[in-house]
Amino acid sequence: MRRLLGTVLPSSVLVTALVIALATGLAACGDDDGESLADDPTATSSDTPTKGGSGDAVDFELVDTITETAAGGSVSDAAVPLADDAAVLQFTSQFETDAMTAKIQDAVQSTDVPDGMLLYGAVVAVGCDAPSEVLVTHGDSGLVVTAVEVPSPMQECFAPMTTVALVLVPTSAVG
């Protein structure tokens, strides 16, 4: 008597393999370091003080958020002033892709910085989500640009995405 190949394996083996594959896939996202969302600076909501600082809000204008897959970089507690080409080069040296560097350089060059304002940049997220809104506050290390938590965070991704925010802040906000 002939048996079909699909009937050779018991169904419990197939179910076990499926469960393992799903568990592995769900655990494979970006920079998950085991911290809870409440401690993750990229997931701070707009009404929560920023980690490591006073949390006093700063008036700002969001110039752009730039997202690139597998670009590297790391979220920082302090935003970086992008006052000249040297500062932009130093800020972009942390990225592993030329595309991210080029996008940031193009955005900085095309930004008209009005009198009384300063341009700052910060990596606001490295992970499965690309936030489009940020909050700027005073922190222990200066200005802090924090991503506002996305409404429906993704649970998994194939490669982490890096999001950089460029903001204009009043000169008076920088002490």
pLDDT digits (tens, 9 = 90+) for 19-59: 344 343 434 444 433 332 333 323 233 334 334 345 789 99
Q: Which one is predicted more confidently, 33 or 126?
A: 126
State the average pLDDT for the chain. Answer: 77
Q: Is residue 78 part of a domain?
A: yes
Cβ-contact 60, 136 below 8 angstroms: yes
pTM, two decimal places? 0.69
pLDDT digits (tens, 9 = 90+) for 90-111: 999 999 999 999 999 999 999 9
Give buried/exposed letters for 136-153 (b at 16+ CB in 10 A, else e): bbbbeebbbbbbbbbeee
Say if residues 96 and 123 touch (Cβ distance below 8 Å): no
Residue 32 forms part of a structural domain: no
**Residues facing residue 122 across a β-bridge:** 165
Query: Is 73 inside a domain boundary?
Result: yes
Tokens of 22: 């799903």
Q: Domains in the chain: how many in total? A: 1
